[in-house]
Each structure stands twice: as C-alpha cells, then as structure tokens.
Structure 1
Amino acid sequence: MRILFTTYPDKTIFHAMVPLAWALRTAGHEVRVAVQPEFTDVVTQAGLTAVPVGRNPVTWRMAERNPEQVEAERAGLPAPYDAAVLDPADLDFETMRDGYQNLLEQWHRLDNFPLIAGLTEFARSWQPDLVIWEPNTYAGAIAAEACGAAHARLVWSVDVFGVARERYLRLKAEQPAEKRADPMADWLGTYGGKYDFDYTENLFTGQFTIHHLPASLSMHADLDYLPMRYVPYGGAAIVPKWLWAPRERRRVALTLGTTATDRFAGYAANVPDILDALADLDMEIVATIAESEQKKLTHVPGNTRVVSYVPLHALAPTCDAIISHAGPGTFLTGALHGVPQLAVPWDFDEPELARRAAAQGGSLSILADQATGESVRAAVLRLLDEPAFGERATDLRDEIHALPSPNQLVPRLEELTAKHRSATR
C-alpha cells in the first residue's frame, strides 16, 4: 500500500505519528509525509520521506503577535471543544456554533489553507491508498476524499474533537431548520464542490480513528476507534553519561514540555518556587528546562540537576515520580514505565487528561496556576510515600502494554483501507 501522513507543522504532534509511520514502512508499505516546506527537516530527521507541499504557515507567528489571543487560549479548552468535558445539559447551541466559527477564523483556516491545494495535488498524483491525518489537519481528509483514498485521524490525546462534534450535531438537530448553522461543515463542504466529492462527517472525524490512550483515560464519541500502544519518539536523542550510573537516592523529574516555550511566553507553573520547595528533600531533582527559562533562575538548589533536554524515555525508567504538564507524550512516556506522576496542566487537552489520570489513581493533579511550591511538595511526598499511587501506576502501565503495538496494528489498517478505499478511483 501507499500511505500518506500529513500534519500542520507542530513537532509534538508529528512525533506522535512517527512510530506508526515506521511500523507501516517496515511492513513493506510505501510511506510519505506531506508537510509544509519549512517542516521537511523535522520529517527527514525521523528517517521518513518528506514531501513539501503548499507554503509555510503563519499561525504560530500570529499567536506570538497577539498576546490577548494566547492568554485566552491558555485559560482552558477553547470553545467549542470545552463542550466535550461539560455536562451535556449545560451546552448551548449558539455558543458552540460561535466557538466553531471563531476557531475556523483564528486557527483552522490558517493551519489548513496553506496545505490544501498542494496536498490534494500530490495525493491525486501519487494516489495513496490511505491518508493518516491529525485531528486539526482537515487538509488530509480533503485530499483523501479528492483522490479516493481511505483516511483516518490519529488522535494524540483525549478526543475532545470527536466528542464535541457529536454533541454539536445533537444540538443542531434540535434547532429549527433555518437555524441549523454549521460553520465547519460549510467550510469543508466548499472543498467537496471544488474537488468533486460530497460532504460527510468523515471530513471532520475520519473514516476511523487511531488513538493512543488506554480505556481508563479515553474519551470516545460514537466512532470507529483503533487503540494503539504509545511508543515514545521525541526526535534526535542522546543519553548522557550521568544517566548511566546507578542512582544514589530517589529521583524526581520535572519536565514541562516544549509548547510553553515554543508557542507561549514560558511555563505557566512557577519553576523556581517548585525547585525551592523541594530543595531540602533527600532526592535528586532532574529539571529539563529550556535555555530561555534557565536564564530566569536566580539560583539552583543543591539537589537539582538542570538540563536543557534529556530523552524522557531514557530518564523515566530511573524515576520514582515525575512532575509534568500532562502533555500526552510526556504523560504516556512516564505511564509506560509505571511511574507515579504529578500533573500541573494548563493548556487545551492537558487539564482533562490530567483529571482522568488522577481518577485512574496513579497520579495527582494541580492546575498550573495553583501549583505553589508548597502544594507541589506535598503532592510529590504523597506520590513517593503512599504505596497506592505506585500500585495504580503499575496497573496503568500494564493496561498500556496490553494495547497493540504499531506493528501489530498494521494488518487491521490494511483491512480497513481495503474497506474504505474508493472502488471508483
């Protein structure tokens, strides 16, 4: 088969795709990754074949120039996706409609418009059998429908996209016919007219959905889901020599991801306050802190090792606990090794993933703007001293390892591709 992956240029999202791309490649299938030109180096660094399409984006640069928009998004899940975590009885059709319209104007068009024409042109030329796209990159669904390929979303976290859409459609059906506005369907439908296919909800949610979360953490709409074991990949990785040596005392990792520094003005949690609060404890704190944030540290406690980067899949197995932002890649890497975790979430999907992880029992959660040094210290001591957290973290590890690996998922993808691929192509 020929399989085409596509995403807008975000490293963490692309990294979530790499293990499956390689599983398909090593199974003998042809794999290409179509991205905007400036992102091709990230793809080729992963050992995959990049296809530059369209033109470079402006979304992140716009976010940097618009502090009010950034702060509004950091306040929580941007409407309408917060609908996925609210009581359905509290949902309002007009609010969700306006939320979709706002997201369409502020993000989705900007993320997708530079991709659509070039991606569709390449797809029609190369004729992939399957297109795999992440849930914001609707250009992938458009290109697949335009060339008759099967297509799937690869969801990297809780599926707020699918659940919110399902709830919106339910509210829409309850409205008078003349008030059933649907900004996303209208927008996606225009490409159906341009490329000669009919609008269906597959353009929004794919013909099927691949996702990384075990059942205890998952959020599902009434869609066809394929769970897949998370395999960590974070780009080029070198294991430092200090990580070879046996530990002399308990180790806690502090890692708050790259989005906070790449996209926003810095970490939402107060890192100096957290490090100071842990300074007198008999443990080693390994803090992976971006160089731009290291400059804000006036001092480093004696029990803290500050590094710009260390591969988390190498660090996590040596840790007794992890403090993180609950980014899905970060959280799942720790969970793969049965490590109890303290989540200090802030942005988009992080609070809901953290809430579900805490409900599972192997983690604790404190919102980043409430994560004082004192509260983090108390939570870390609970994770280390109360055996129940380790036991439930082990349960979560076992649940994740029971999921099919990317390689084991390949035969099922072959079946679904044959089922959904257009017979008229």
Structure 2
Amino acid sequence: MRILVVAPLASTHFTPLIPLCWAFRAGGHEVLVAAPPDLVPTARSAGLSTIVIGDAARLLDTIGENVTPDMYPAEAFGDRTSHWGRQVWELSTLHQVSYAVEHVEEYLAFADEWKPDIVLYDQLTLIGRIAGVVLGAVSVSHRWGVDPTAGPYEERVRRDLAAVCRRFKLDELPAPDVIVDPCPPSLQVEDAPPGQPMRYVPFNGTGTLPDWARRRAAGRRICICLGGSLLDVTGPAPLRRVIEAARAVPDAEVVLAITPANRRLVDDLPDDLRVVESLPLQLFLPTCDLVVGSGGSGTGLTATSMGIPQLVVPQWFDQFDYGRRLAAAGAGLNLPGRDQQSDPAVIREAAETLLGDSSFSTAVQKLRTEIESAPSPIEVAARLTSMVR
C-alpha cells in the first residue's frame, strides 16, 4: 500500500509521526513524505523519502514577527475558557489556515497523481484533513502529544476553511477516520476526542552515545531541555532562570540539552554545566533523576516513557495543559505563573521537592506502564492498513 505523509509545519510535530512511518515501512508499505522545503531534513534524518511541495513553512519566523520576549510565559494559553485564552488560541490558527489556503491545491494535485491508500498527518496539518477525504483514502490524524485543540482552535479553523472546503464539495472541514494518540490517557486533556492509543516511542534524532551517559552521576543528574524552538521566540531569559535554579540544587550535576542555534543565544554558560548539542534525549535520559522542561510533549513524553519526574515551566500553546495534567497525575510539578518563573529560588525549591519525594517517581512509573501497555506502532499500522477498502 501507499502511505502519503503530509508533513506538519514544524519539525517538533513531525518527529512524533516517525515511529508509525517506520512501522508502515517494516510492514512492506511505501511511505512518501510531502513536505515544505524546510521540513525535508527532518524526514531525511529519519530515513524517509520526500517530495517537496509548497513554500517554506517558516512557522517560527511568523510567530517571532508578531511577539516580543516579554510576553512569555503566555499564561492565557492555559485557560481556553477565558476571554483572552479563547482569543490567543484562535489567533494561533492563522498561519496554519493561510498555509492551507495557499497550498492545498498543490498537495491535492500531487496526491491525486500518486494515489495513496492512507493519508497520514499531524493534528494541526489542515491540508491532510482535506486531502484524505477528497482522495477517498483512509484519513489518519496523528497527535503530537497533549492535544488542547478542541474548542477555540477547532472552531476557528472550521470557520476559516469553510470556503476552501466548499470548493472541493465538502460540507465542512472533515474529521479524520482515525486519530492516533501516543499520549497516555492519564495525561491527555479532558476534552480531547477519543483516539486510537499507540505506544509512545521516543525519537529525538540520531547521535552517538557518550561515555558519561553510560553510567549514573555520583549525585543527582538534572537534565534541562526547553526544546529546539522555544528560545528563538522567548529569548534566553527562561533558560537562564532555570539554569540558575538547577545549579543551586545541592549535589547535582546539570546537563543542558540545547540546539547549536540556541547555544549561540547563551554564550556565557557556567563552566560547571555539561552542555550537549543536538544529542538525542533517549541516549542519556535514563541516567537522569529529574527533567526540567517547558512542557513540550516531545521532551515530556520521552521523560515519562523512561519513568523520570519532571518540573514544567510552560511558556506557550499546549505546554500549559501538559504541565497541568502531569501535576494532576502526581508525576511532576508545574510552575505556570510569571511570578513563579521569575524567581529562581521558587524553581530550585520545586526541583528539590521532586528529588526528595519518592511519590513522584511512583506516579510517573504508573504513566510509564500506561505507555508500555498501549499497542505498538507495528500493531497500529496493521490496524490502519486493514481499513483500506
């Protein structure tokens, strides 16, 4: 069978799809990724073939052009029921909608020529939702993790794409045939539509296992990872505060996972930090006692799948829901407020609480069990191919 993957507009939403793509390939199926040019390297790094369609996504550039670092943490994202929360989630649709309007016909023209049996796409990839139904293929949406797009986001994209849908003789923006959900149920937001569970398999790129990561530290090892894209928008301030807090924890070795581009934003890092650039998290997190992150599902679910408690300092979008749900599950602590995040002493105290209380480790092991008991990508791929008429 042929599986067409419509790539999302951000690499952090692409990597969660890759284990399922591998599963399709392992089952003998043909997988092709239709991607804007700036997403091609992510697909190639995972051994997937591509076709380039459309202009560069430039998602982060678009966000950065319309915000300033002092807007973060953007706490309104944490409450979709409030007036401001509803507005910021509606505004977050603009780039996704405009890209879909501009390029949907290019994607459909190629897809009609290639004739896929399954169209696979990220939950935010609106072109994929249209293409699957128009082509008569099995339409498969894949969540990146915690998914708070029900409500204001979904309502806005349906309204803004109504005219495009009518052009293709669709009454409205179609729902997928299947939603694949790699997020354990105890972490998923309450109003997320039910999905097909799938075991979360970490993929953070490829790398070489360093010697130090083959063994645990003499004391406690804390990993700081705020993701690969956040600092481009917020600037280095959130990272500097977290570093100051983690270094103040007694008997702690601090590992900073960062991209080379973000490393240039903080060129005066303390000498006692262990800095790793673009080293896949799955290579060294098993030796860590705590992960401090912004609540991105890639970092968060990787840590959860390895049974590591987390301290979340959310900045935007779904990170507030991730932190809230993780804290509710007892597997970590969440510091969503500007007043909390502005004080390194508060962050340090939270880190020490997580390191000193075994109940957090017990709770995260329950989440790890949820992840491991879900169907594997191989099993899910087989179920999806069985749906093809």
TM-score for both structures, normalised by structure 1: 0.82
Supply the distance in 2 between the matched residues of 1:91 and 1:415 (Cα, whole angstroms): 44
Indicate the residue corresponding to 2:29 in structure 1. 29
Task: State the shift of 1:72 in Å.
Answer: 5.7
Stretch moving more, 154-163 or 16-25: 154-163
Task: State the shift of 1:33 in Å.
Answer: 0.8
Structure 1: which amino acid aligns with 2:14?
Answer: F
Change (3 A) 1:376 1:297: farther
Structure 2: which amino acid aligns with 1:406?
Answer: P
Task: State the shift of 1:299 in Å.
Answer: 5.1
Indicate the residue corresponding to 2:328 in structure 1. 359
Of 89, 96, 107, the residue aligned with 2:95 is 107
Indicate the residue corresponding to 2:74 in structure 1. 75
Supply the distance in 1 between the matched residues of 2:277 and 2:116 (Cα, whole angstroms): 39
1:199 equivalent to 2:171? Answer: yes
Indicate the residue corresponding to 2:303 in structure 1. 334
Task: State the shift of 1:188 in Å.
Answer: 2.7
Of 119, 124, 148, the residue aligned with 1:136 is 124
Between Structure 1 and Structure 2, the one with more helix by share is: 1
Indicate the residue corresponding to 1:387 in structure 2. 358
Indicate the residue corresponding to 2:313 in structure 1. 344
1:407 equivalent to 2:384? Answer: no
Q: Does the aligned pair in 2 maintain the 1:274–1:376 contact within 8 Å?
A: no
Supply the distance in 1 between the matched residues of 2:27 and 2:337 (Cα, whole angstroms): 42
Q: What is the aligned-residue identity percentage?
A: 29
Of 140, 143, 149, the residue aligned with 1:152 is 140
Task: State the shift of 1:66 in Å.
Answer: 2.8
1:242 equivalent to 2:212? Answer: yes
Supply the distance in 2 between the matched residues of 1:155 and 1:161 (Cα, whole angstroms): 10
Q: Does the aligned pair in 2 maintain the 1:277–1:374 contact within 8 Å?
A: no
Supply the distance in 2 between the matched residues of 1:46 and 1:299 (Cα, whole angstroms): 31
Which protein is bigger by CA-based radius of gyration? 1
1:229 equivalent to 2:199? Answer: yes
- What does the per-residue CA deviation read over 1:127-172, in whole Å, with 9 as the maximum and x for residues that have no partner? 1111111122111122222211121211112221135468x5xxxx
Structure 2: which amino acid aligns with 1:122?
Answer: F
Of 230, 241, 259, the residue aligned with 2:229 is 259
Supply the distance in 1 between the matched residues of 2:100 and 2:88 (Cα, whole angstroms): 18
Supply the distance in 1 between the matched residues of 2:358 and 2:278 (Cα, whole angstroms): 30
Q: Does the aligned pair in 1 maintain the 2:258–2:278 contact within 8 Å?
A: yes
Supply the distance in 1 between the matched residues of 2:72 and 2:121 (Cα, whole angstroms): 23
Task: State the shift of 1:37 in Å.
Answer: 2.6
Task: State the shift of 1:280 in Å.
Answer: 6.0
Task: State the shift of 1:219 in Å.
Answer: 2.3
Stretch moving more, 213-222 or 124-133: 213-222
Task: State the shift of 1:403 in Å.
Answer: 0.9
TM-score for both structures, normalised by structure 2: 0.89
1:42 equivalent to 2:42? Answer: yes
Change (3 A) 1:114 1:72: farther
Stretch moving more, 292-301 or 222-231: 292-301
Supply the distance in 2 between the matched residues of 1:279 and 1:222 (Cα, whole angstroms): 39
Q: Does the aligned pair in 2 maintain the 1:268–1:368 contact within 8 Å?
A: no
Gaps of 5+ in 2: none
